[in-house]
Structure 1
């Protein structure tokens, strides 16, 4: 009698395992797309930063993002509208993202997209430290080795296979500014997992956007109100649209989805691919193509990420 009662549980368990496997595979695909989209924010953001300061640029972007995500969340996806609970969670996450975005645009006024991409690759290791601190999530040695392999390939790509450039790397003002933002974003990912349990991920992302805006008002409200929008070139408008719809609304959902299904180091490990996508995008924009040696570094990065993805959590 006991054996008959135990038999039906096996298919359900196998179904659960397969479902979780599919979800993790989709989470990895989401982060691959995330890396490609984020690369555009560096190149296009650098173009927009030439015409508008970090404060008003970031505020404008998030006001548009709030509208886009609101329509997407409560209109297209039909998520029931509910008031946010424990508002302090959204305020904290919004503050971290606000600092990250402000420092990114501020850094692009002083340095190139490729150099900011170099600083971006520090995020997975920083996130691993915060994951241990906030949620007790440890990074196993084999995952750490995969991250290091990916990092080495990323550094090779960032400096265009120039050993001299690597050895003479001098941290400038822009890199230091952006490093502060990278620390904030590194803390943001494990905190999503800590604070977002049981919440609708899309609605959660919307409220984070809403509570990011108050942090941006002190540096952006007055300059944005005084901006002569008619005098701005079309490239700025196109960039704002891209940043608002693609690299904020869409990447928010991609990061939210993956963060609930993968460990923090694995999630941000895909950041190592961002410099590779930046190199490709800079070439498409007419700024020159990378050498075959640089693409070899991209291959090393991809191999490290592949190993990391195959390792158990």
Structure 2
């Protein structure tokens, strides 16, 4: 498989994002979420800034990449805003369950944008992945599963999931062969801008002075690994593999969270959780194999060829 390394990178970014859930839990309630995300974007952008400015080509490319990156970062920022606002009226358990709809939603959007078809087998695989994730999240407790119900916060987070899908689609659609380091920098810069705007609109304070040394280490992880490294990897893998294949790895996110919780916090997991992890892994592998077959089959019109003729 010639794109094997990009699949490993997709696994890595899923692991990094899973770790961010643990760090975010430590920071939750200490600093308001808009300011927290602004700081994440700002630190990551500042770290990347010297490498971008080092070459004249990169500096010149910023003006071309920034408008498109503002669009991509808008979708990314809307996702965070919806998530933070949704948590006021819903639970992290509900959000974790709803987030597993993103791969299926990405496939639906890709159907219209990239003409990637959804077969009956693929639909079944998506359901299998959702079922596996539910077993992990609900720890095999059927009463907790049946008690799951939608509220206004859930509906708002569903909008955020749509925005995350649009972020993934836009990365593929708006890419014009720019240097990836420039695209990532502009995306981070755009994210910081939108979060600064959100702080102003919602009249939230920065509260950065509330972060102590221990919390700063968690913030460093969020900024450098869960934001900078993850954004770079997601941008690169989405361009190469496509949104549907990259988003399919979301099913592994609860698996990594469960494993990290077991290793770091030394907690035991119910047997039903392992069954759910197996289903999630199986669904991810099958989806990747199926999407590879679809991608390798001949198409009458190349979407990449059509995109290369477009200009901003």
Q: Classify the TM-score, shorter chain.
A: 0.7 to 0.9
Judged with a 3 Å threshold, the aligned counterparts in structure 2 of structure 1 residues 236 and 219 are, in CA distance, closer, same or farther, namely: farther
Q: Do structure 1's residue 62 and structure 2's residue 41 form an aligned pair?
A: yes
- Structure 1 pair 173–286 and aligned structure 2 pair: CA distance change class (3 A): farther
1:64-115 C-alpha deviation (Å, 9 max, x unpaired): 111123345555x997332331643222111111111233344456655544
- Structure 1 residue 123 and structure 2 residue 102: aligned? yes
1:36-75, Cα deviation, whole Å (9 max, x unpaired): 1111222221321211111211111111111123345555
**Which residue among 235, 252, 255 is the counterpart of 2:234?**
255
Question: In structure 2, do the counterparts of structure 1 residues 174 and 274 end up closer, same or farther at CA, with 3 Å as the change threshold?
Answer: farther
**Residues 252 and 137 of structure 1: CA distance in aligned 2, closer, same or farther (over 3 Å):** same
* Structure 1 residues 143 and 200, CA gap change in structure 2 (3 angstroms): farther
Contact kept in structure 2, 1:79 and 1:203, CA below 8 Å: no
Structure 1 distance, partners of 2:119, 2:185, is: 33
Inter-partner Cα distance in structure 1 for 2:47 and 2:92: 26
Give the equivalent residue in structure 1 for 2:306: none
2:144 and 2:56 map into 1 onto residues whose CA distance is 51
1:53 aligns with 2:32: yes
* TM-superposed deviation, 1:177: 3.7
Count residues in correspondence: 289
Distance 1:172 1:50, change over 3 A: farther
Alpha-carbon distance in 1 for matches of 2:56, 2:275: 45
Contact 1:121 1:272 in 2 (8 A): yes
Determine the C-alpha separation between the residues in 2 that align with 1:276 and 1:111. 22
Q: Secondary structure at the match of 1:249?
A: helix
Q: How does 1:200-219 map to 2 (within 5 A)?
A: 200-219=179-198
Shift of 1:287: 8.0
Structure 2: segments with no counterpart, 5+ residues: 296-312
Decide whether aligned partners of structure 1 residues 105 and 282 sit closer, same or farther in structure 2, where only a CA change above 3 A counts. Answer: farther
TM-score (norm 1): 0.82
Alpha-carbon deviation of 1:136?
A: 3.1
Mapped contact 1:114–1:279 kept (Cα < 8 A): no
Q: Deviations over 1:113-159 (max 9, x none)?
A: 54432222111111122222333333344444333222221111111
Contact 2:128/2:279 (<8 A) preserved: yes
Tell me the SS of whatever aligns to 1:84. Answer: helix
Q: Contact 2:35/2:205 (CA < 8 Å) preserved in 1?
A: yes
1:191: which partner in 2?
170
Q: What is the TM-score of this pair, normalised by structure 2?
A: 0.82
Provide closer, same or farther for how the CA distance between residues 287 and 263 of structure 1 changes in structure 2, counting only shifts above 3 A. same
The 5-angstrom pairing of residues 138-157 of structure 1 reads 138-157=117-136
Superposed, 1:79-228 pairs within 5 Å as 80-82=58-60, 83-85=62-64, 87-108=66-87, 113-172=92-151, 174-220=153-199, 223-225=204-206, 227=207
**5+ unaligned residues in a row in structure 1: which ranges?**
1-20
Whether the aligned pair in 2 keeps the contact of 1:46 and 1:109 (CA below 8 Å) is no
Give SS of 1:145's match.
Answer: helix
Q: Is the 8 A contact 1:46 1:105 kept in 2?
A: no
Deviates more, 1:52-61 or 1:79-88: 79-88
Pick from 248, 251, 257 the counterpart of residue 278 of structure 1: 257
